[in-house]
Structure 1
Amino acid sequence: MEAEINKMELMFQKADSDLDYIQYRLEYEIKTNHPDSTDLGLSPWTKEEKTVAEQLKSHTSDL
């Protein structure tokens, strides 16, 4: 049972890492290919999104 939990934790960590990389690449592509475009900018996170991100980070750091 614990081995399965560890496997799932690793899968979540990899997914989180993959999402971070995708976000970085998208931001880079937008800045590189559309530097003067205002409508392609990234909107700041809402308060709710920040709260969820903090919860996820604290949860994954506990693992």
Structure 2
Amino acid sequence: MKSRYQSLYARFKPVAIEQKETKSRIYATLNKTMTMIEELQKQTDLELSPLTEEEKTVTEQLKSHIIDS
């Protein structure tokens, strides 16, 4: 049983690593996008309405999911 576990672990470890890296890249891109939006708003004197409760919840879930992974 132990050898089967080791075999499965060896097969799926690269997948897990790639998944974690992909999540990190998505999160970094999201952060950069949000920063660019904020900068554009400052330059054009526009304001974005505050996040809705649903948007806040999704943002927190995304952050915790990526950090936990």
Of 6, 16, 19, which residue of structure 2 is paired with 1:5?
16
Deviation of 1:41 after TM superposition, in Å, equals 1.9
The alignment-based identity, stated in percent, is 34
Q: For structure 1, which runs of at least 5 residues remain unmatched after alignment?
A: none
1:17 aligns with 2:23: no
Aligned alpha-carbon RMSD (Å): 1.4
Q: For structure 2, which runs of at least 5 residues remain unmatched after alignment?
A: 1-11
Structure with greater helix percent: 2
**Which residues in structure 2 correspond to 1:1-63 (within 5 Å)?**
1-32=12-43, 34-35=44-45, 40-63=46-69
Residues paired across the two proteins, number: 58
| TM-score after normalising by structure 2 | 0.70
| TM-score after normalising by structure 1 | 0.75
